[in-house]
Structure 1
Amino acid sequence: MDSDRADLLLPLWRALVVFRVITFGFACFGVWVRWDGIVRPYGAVLQLAIMGVWTIVASIGYSRHWGRRNTRFAFVDLVVTVACMYATLLAQPLLDIRAGASVLTSVWVAGPVIALAISRGRDGGLAGAVTVSLALLSLRGLENVSKILANVQLLLVAGLVVGYAATTMRRATVRLREAIAAESAAAERLRLSRSIHDGVLQVLAQVQRRGTAIGGEAVELASLAAEQEVALRSLMASRPVRERQGQIDLCSALLPLATTRVDVVVPAVPVVLPVGVVNELVAAVKEALSNVLKHAGPDARSWVVVEDLGADVLVSVRDDGAGTTQDRLDAARSDGHLGVSQSIRGRITDLGGSVTVRTAPGEGTEWEMTVTR
């Protein structure tokens, strides 16, 4: 499956399967070495048979997608493993075990600890280690705590270390899948861009030129063709908007604002900000462009520029329209015109940022909106 190919945890699961098989072999060897000291040998054989069957089941489960994705399987593994530990009582009386006889499961019991660490991270590994340790303590007795301390420490270390590694690899898997998806989307977008550029954009450009040359009603057709050409170019240059941990790319949100009269210039790399900040900045930019449409004149052009300054992000909206004076801006705010005072200044101020406006009659208007990361 494609998801498995991009799963960096897969080697850990395969290693767990090998660990299960090898440790079952160790348990069998331990029973063979201690055969003469086992009180009820038939109980040991029955215990090993149960362990062998479950080793096969667990190995199959952890080798399949359903076993790796279903955490309940790891918990079932833990329950069965603890039951196999208590099955030692079939071979040895409890008094003998507390007197020093071995628990016949040996290191095989670490299997579900590692499985929970891989599937649930540090907390899962810790929970599995504590459960197995308590089961071991109940068999050995409180008077033998010092004798099992080394085993408990190894279980805890295995659960914590494998859990931490699994969590790190899981995050890396997410990033890898995102990178693969982005690369695939970019490749597809590039392929479509070549097709569009060689066909649709050339036709639209020809319609625009011919319509303008013919004049009359054809001018409207040329204008529509120009708008569609800009829209297609913006689509080709757009980036997928992906929210990750409450943050998105500001550039991806601003690029769709490009039209025949609005140019959007952004850095080559994403400018990532919290979703709320991006939404407020986009709304402020839209209000600034709306003011250009209303007051700058029918032929005014606008430029939206994003600059990543490190600690700050600067978004400027500039037009080459009629412009105005600072006194008129202040008067409009005093008269209750909310476009400037609330939709632009208010939004940026609420974000803890600052707004600067430069304008003069005949020289257009430039808004500079700065927010701090």
Structure 2
Amino acid sequence: MERDPDDLLQPLWRALVVFRVITFGFACFGVWTRWEGIARPSGAILQLAIMGVWTVLSSIGYSQRWGRRNTRVGFVDLIITAGCMYATLLAQPLIDIRGGASVLTSVWAAGPVLALAISRGRDGGLLGAVTISLVLLSLRGVDNAAKALSNVQLLLISGLVVGYAASTLRRAGVRLRAAIAAESATAERLRLSRSIHDGVLQVLAQVQRRGHSIGGEAVELAQLAAEQEVALRSLMSARPVAAAGGLTDLCSQLLPLATTKVDVVVPAVPVLLPSTTADELVAAVKEALSNVRKHAGGEARTWVVVEDLDDHVLVSIRDDGAGTTPAELEQARVDGRLGVSQSIRGRITDLGGTATVRTAPGEGTEWELKVNR
């Protein structure tokens, strides 16, 4: 069998190939033991020949990557297997089959049920089981349906169980590949971070120190170096967005907001929130930072702190700027400046959370944005 290290379903395909070969042997043995009771032995030999050829072809197909990934192979298998079941009529008259004679395909007919269950999951297994069951019941007849009931039950159970197992393995494979990709990305980020720290960041730090000590136009160069240092450090500390079941890591969205005047402090582990909640919370934080740039003064510094408190998440935005008064905030709302009332409070209220502001002239402003999980 062609090996595919990334395919967790490969053991199931290998088991299917073994199943087809063994059950073909059982069918041959069954014909041999019932040889005297077969009405047309030449028809039985022809049927076994067709089954043998298809066993070889299907085994080759399921042993190759193209056969395992092309779901049409399973449907072709289903059609041919149903035809082989009806080919029993070449060996036994229909009246004999309905009188109790065996369908010569025996358990070999369950092959496409398992193939569709592996390739298409639970629904594929159920489709295959129902199809083979209907073929079996049409041969047995309505009067003998009770005798075929146990076979129908086994087909349905096999299709459902194997389909569920295949779907579980497929989802596990997706998660495994995502974990491997994340681990590789983290390792590469750490390698680049070491290189940047040993080279670029040290140069930028030296430019800052020398620029401030020289003075004059060199101060502007030092400021640019400081901004680039913060940008690089933010890039180095950035984490891949953790997405699982519609959840997003809030921290990964807030870390890029760091500048020379904005410090972002987040927990070491991801803070997962529904994607819509995280987006609205980040938008509110950006509006608060925009207000700092507009009203707090050119030298104001800001600290954004994220706290994960189990049942809710708290984001604090504090600056050391000019500050204001609650009356002035209310007057801004009356005058139609809705940055605070709509872009911050409105967003958090719509999320079912609370937005609290504390401010005073000369003492800066602090926002506390709290949202429930």
TM range, normalised to the smaller chain? over 0.9
Secondary structure of 2:201's aligned partner: helix
Which residue of structure 2 aligns with residue 351 of structure 1?
Answer: 351
CA deviation string 1:171-230 (max 9, x = no partner): 211111111110010011111111111111111111111111111111111111111111
Which residue of structure 1 aligns with residue 247 of structure 2?
Answer: 247
Mean Cα deviation higher: 100-109 or 328-337: 328-337
Q: Which amino acid is 2:113 matched to?
A: V
State how many pairs are aligned.
371
Q: Which amino acid is 1:108 matched to?
A: W
Native 8 Å contact 1:288 1:344 kept in 2: yes
Which residue of structure 2 aligns with residue 317 of structure 1?
Answer: 317
CA distance in 2 between counterparts of 1:54 and 1:245 reads 42
Which residue of structure 1 aligns with residue 132 of structure 2?
Answer: 132
- Counterparts of 1:98-109 in structure 2 under 5 Å? 98-109=98-109
Aligned-pair identity in percent equals 79
CA distance in 2 between counterparts of 1:101 and 1:124 reads 30
Distance apart, 1:22 and its partner CA: 1.2
Distance apart, 1:244 and its partner CA: 4.1
Secondary structure of 1:316's aligned partner: strand
Distance apart, 1:274 and its partner CA: 2.1
- Counterparts of 1:77-88 in structure 2 under 5 Å? 77-88=77-88
Which residue of structure 2 aligns with residue 287 of structure 1?
Answer: 287
Which residue of structure 1 aligns with residue 258 of structure 2?
Answer: 258
CA distance in 2 between counterparts of 1:8 and 1:350 reads 44
TM-score norm. by structure 2 comes to: 0.96
Native 8 Å contact 2:242 2:272 kept in 1: no
CA distance in 2 between counterparts of 1:260 and 1:4 reads 49
CA deviation string 1:214-256 (max 9, x = no partner): 1111111111111111111111111122544433211111111
- Counterparts of 1:201-212 in structure 2 under 5 Å? 201-212=201-212
CA distance in 1 between counterparts of 2:222 and 2:364 reads 27
The 1:4–1:307 alpha-carbon spacing in structure 2 relative to 1, beyond 3 Å, is farther
CA distance in 1 between counterparts of 2:343 and 2:238 reads 26
CA distance in 1 between counterparts of 2:98 and 2:327 reads 92
Which residue of structure 1 aligns with residue 339 of structure 2?
Answer: 339
Which residue of structure 2 aligns with residue 70 of structure 1?
Answer: 70
Native 8 Å contact 2:44 2:90 kept in 1: yes
Greater than 4 Å deviation, 4+ residue runs: none
Distance apart, 1:344 and its partner CA: 0.6
Which residue of structure 1 aligns with residue 91 of structure 2?
Answer: 91
Unaligned runs of 5+ in 2: none
CA deviation string 1:12-56 (max 9, x = no partner): 121111111111111111111112211111211111111112112
Which residue of structure 1 aligns with residue 114 of structure 2?
Answer: 114
- Counterparts of 1:1-373 in structure 2 under 5 Å? 4-241=4-241, 243-373=243-373
Native 8 Å contact 2:242 2:270 kept in 1: no
Taking only aligned residues, the RMSD between alpha carbons, in angstroms, comes to 1.4
CA distance in 2 between counterparts of 1:57 and 1:195 reads 55
Distance apart, 1:105 and its partner CA: 0.6
Q: Which amino acid is 1:119 matched to?
A: S
CA distance in 1 between counterparts of 2:66 and 2:129 reads 23
TM-score norm. by structure 1 comes to: 0.96
